[in-house]
Amino acid sequence: MRAFLSFGSNVGNRAEHLRAGVAIVAGTDPYRLSRVYETEPVGGVAQDDYWNLVMELVTEASPWALLERAQRAEAQRDRTRDVRWGPRTLDVDVLWAEGFTSDDPRLTVPHPRAMERAFVVVPWRELAPELISQFDVERATGRVVALDTLELLQ
């Protein structure tokens, strides 16, 4: 199955949090990463800018198993959920999974707000222009600035 996940961090060493999260979520599955983008926070809580990227993963794992991997990665990076849309060491969301939809509150796929957010659609389009159109990018809101590949960032 082909799946896409979004990663973000705006607390501490953002690059290290993203690297660790990618490694945990990918496991031994093949993957590709978008570039990292610096983005403005969403939700009105005063906080630092995020670094975001999207991962394309080819896996036999179910979307539920991917959610478990995402939550394990967040926990291992000491993610706290004190404030909705507040600062995070690591945030990982399952955006889309080939042939799968769910409206379960624990795992809603496709992600319900993904197409509204430039920090998701810009890096997603980089990996999957056949799924995310230029129109989708233009419709999404939020400032995004391309930084570099994750391996080159400190």
Every domain of the chain and the residues it spans: 2-152
Mutual orientation of helices 14-26 and 63-76 as an angle, nearest 10°?
Answer: 150
Residues catalogued as catalytic = 79, 88, 91, 93
Q: What is the pLDDT of residues 107-154, one digit of tens each?
A: 999 999 999 999 999 999 999 999 999 999 999 999 999 999 999 998
pLDDT in the model for residue 78: 84
pLDDT, mean of residues 48-65? 97
Banded pLDDT at 85 (limits 50, 70, 90): low
pTM: predicted TM-score of the whole model, two decimal places: 0.95
Residue 27 near residue 69, CB atoms below 8 Å: yes
Q: How far is CA 60 from the centre of its chain?
A: 20
Q: Please tell me the CATH superfamily of domain 2-152, with its number.
A: 7,8-Dihydro-6-hydroxymethylpterin-pyrophosphokinase HPPK (3.30.70.560)
Banded pLDDT at 65 (limits 50, 70, 90): very high
Q: Give, for 68, the enclosing helix (H) or strand (E).
A: helix 63-76
- Position 82 pLDDT exceeds 80: no
